[in-house]
Amino acid sequence: MGLLVGLSSCESNQLEKETFLEKKGGEDTDTPIMVGLAKDQEEDPIYPAHVELYMVGETSVLADTTTEENGTFQFRVDTGYYYVKLYQNEQLLITSEAVEVVDSTYFVVQL
């Protein structure tokens, strides 16, 4: 099982991000938002899945959520380095690599 974590610039995925954020209310905020997409090897969304957020170097869960039907999830976070753990049926599927969050960030977690 491999891990693919990709960071995307605002320009290349602007439409996809705007569409997702509009569905979530499109709030203006100074707090960065981590928007993630969980998908399997066939590019299908992973749903339902439990997602836990950690700060790099820490072992305590900062926040948790469940993926949407399209595999997306989000967290409001401060600037820093984070990683997520993705579970399905209480089984750990994957632990992401570190993601740097300076501004709102879109990333992909793929099995």
What pLDDT is recorded for position 29? Answer: 60
Separation of alpha carbons 10 and 2, rounded Å: 26
Q: Read off the pLDDT of each residue in 25-49 and give the average, rounded to a whole number.
A: 87
DSSP 51-106: EEEEETT--S--EEEE--TTSEEEEE--SEEEEEEEEETTEEEEEPPPEEESSSEE
Give the domain ranges of the chain: 4-24+32-110
What is the CATH code of the structural domain delimited by 4-24+32-110? 2.60.40.10
Residue type, 76: R
pLDDT 10s digits, 66-100 = 999 999 999 999 999 999 999 999 999 999 999 99
Separation of alpha carbons 45 and 72, rounded Å: 8
Helix (H, G, I), strand (E, B) or coil at 18: helix
The answer to whether 69 and 47 are in contact (CB under 8 A) is yes
Q: What are phi and psi of 78, to 5 degrees?
A: -80, 165
